[in-house]
Amino acid sequence: MSRISQAHSIEDLRRRARIRLPRGVFDFFDGGAEDENTLAANRRAFENVRLLPHVLRNVADPDLSAQIIGMRAAAPFVVAPMGAAGIGWPGADVAIARAASRLGIPYVLSTAATASIERIASEAGGRLWFQLYVLRDLAFTEALMARAAAAGYEALVLTLDMAVGGKRERDIRNGFTVPLAPRWRTAADFMTHPMWCLRMLRHGQPSFENLQGFAGSSHAGTSIVARAAQSLDPSFDWGALQRIRDKWPGRLLVKGVCRADDADRLATLGLDGLWVSNHGGRQLDGSVASAEALPDVVHAVRGRMPVLIDSGIRRGVDVVKALALGAQAVGIGRAALYGVAAAGQAGAERALMILSEELRRAMQLCGTPTIGDIDAQLLQVQPARQRS
């Protein structure tokens, strides 16, 4: 039995990643904003949902396949966008994308990924979506959209909850920066993780390939990422969203929605999906947990477009709960990141396999042989909006 196969939960993978990574790198992946109240609330919200399982159902061979934004997927999962994954494992973005392709689920590439739009398309394949941060440099933003369209990405995921960057105090206290800098505060941390250091020395610091040329720069380093973070467009509004809808030729989803009134208005704009998210607790500390926001958003949308959710998914039963609350699919972020940091592509595949196996078992124990059988009737307490 291989060592990674002895990881039996996402928490097992998290512990392995914590051992393998320098503290600053692990905390960058693991942490949230300020006091991390929303980070913790995301988990509590799922833990507080209780299920009422059916009995006497034929669940000998549960079917995990699901419709996600109009196309069939092997499971109701989407790999959520994650920036800077390459500082945990060289080639992490390609590794996670390949794992998603093998499982038969969509993969969302971040604007701040350490692999380019074109590289992911050529080396990973599968169902590819591109996540876009809105920058004040409109020409650069439109160039990213054009590259994604030319590379065959089927969907654009527009992140709306990052008008400015969140205050992540773990990173501040650790003196964490990208590019990774062995200052006196970090050198000892790096040197006590020799295998990680050797990988970084062998492969070099990851570059942010989608941001090449940003702000006139000719190289892809983190100075570009810093400028990009400082160049987020806080003036982006409803009219600007409509302009992106008009320009993007494929499916368009918006990510970072927590309010029912926003969801109701977004449902009138010809979008293809809405993604409930609080950015994994990394932005506004004190924001509502995604699982708590989901029922009101689903009610407001009234079936006009699919609703996805991320933030806090760690178990297969969490997926059942999210679907019962009205989501069409869930975004898998940190779970995949822990896996790839623990063991590269094998770790990413293990993370997705763990969640798939747990989902299959949870469906059998809930008496739901297909994804379509998972609905609000499975909840001990149905959301008030769904009861009305």
338 neighbors 352 (Cβ within 8 angstroms): no
The predicted structure's pLDDT at residue 1 = 39
Q: What is the mean pLDDT of residues 367-386?
A: 88
Q: Which residue has the tokens 């609000």?
A: 376
The predicted structure's pLDDT at residue 388 = 53
Q: Clarify whether 219 is annotated catalytic.
A: no
From 46-60, 193-207, 311-325, the region with the lowest mean pLDDT: 193-207
DSSP state of 279: G
CATH of domain 4-382: 3.20.20.70
Q: How far apart are CA 349 and CA 368, in angstroms?
A: 25
Q: Which residue has the tokens 């019962």?
A: 324
From 13-22, 99-108, 148-157, 377-386, the region with the lowest mean pLDDT: 377-386
Binding site annotation covers 235? no
Q: How far apart are CA 367 and CA 263, in angstroms?
A: 32
Binding site annotation covers 256? no
Binding site annotation covers 54? no
Binding site annotation covers 377? no
327 neighbors 299 (Cβ within 8 angstroms): no
Region of residue 177 (left: phi > 0; alpha: psi -120 to 50; beta: else)? beta
Binding site annotation covers 107? no
Taking CA atoms, 202 is separated from 8, 89, 322, 351, in Å, by 30, 11, 41, 26
Binding site annotation covers 153? no
Phi, psi of 299 (to 5 degrees): -65, -40
- Find all residues with CB under 8 Å of 347, minimum gap 6, and list them: 4, 7, 13, 16, 89, 338, 339, 340, 341
249 neighbors 150 (Cβ within 8 angstroms): no
pLDDT (tens digit per residue) in 21-73: 999 999 999 999 999 999 999 999 999 999 999 999 999 999 999 999 999 99
- Find all residues with CB under 8 Å of 187, minimum gap 6, and list them: none
Q: Where along the chain do its domains lie? A: 4-382
Binding site annotation covers 310? yes
Binding site annotation covers 312? yes
Binding site annotation covers 110? yes
pLDDT (tens digit per residue) in 241-268: 999 999 999 999 999 999 999 999 999 9
Length of the chain: 388
193 pLDDT band (50/70/90 cuts)? Answer: confident
Give the pTM.
0.94
223 pLDDT band (50/70/90 cuts)? Answer: low
Helices (H), strands (E): how many in the chain?
A: 16, 10
Say which of 8, 54, 219, 279 is annotated catalytic: 279
Binding site annotation covers 321? no
Identify the residue with better confidence: 19 or 187: 19
Report percent pLDDT > 90 for the chain. 80
Binding site annotation covers 168? yes
How many of the other CB atoms lie within 10 Å of CB of 6?
Answer: 10
Q: What is the mean pLDDT of residues 183-188?
A: 71
Identify the residue with better confidence: 61 or 176: 61
Binding site annotation covers 282? yes
Binding site annotation covers 255? yes
pLDDT score of 152 more than 60 = yes
Q: Which residue(s) pair with 73 in the sheet?
A: 66
pLDDT (tens digit per residue) in 65-100: 999 999 999 999 999 999 999 999 999 999 999 999
Identify the residue with better confidence: 123 or 1: 123
The predicted structure's pLDDT at residue 178 = 73
Average confidence score pLDDT of the chain: 93
378 pLDDT band (50/70/90 cuts)? Answer: very high
Q: Which residue from 335, 257, 270 is spatially nearest to 11, judged by alpha carbons? A: 335
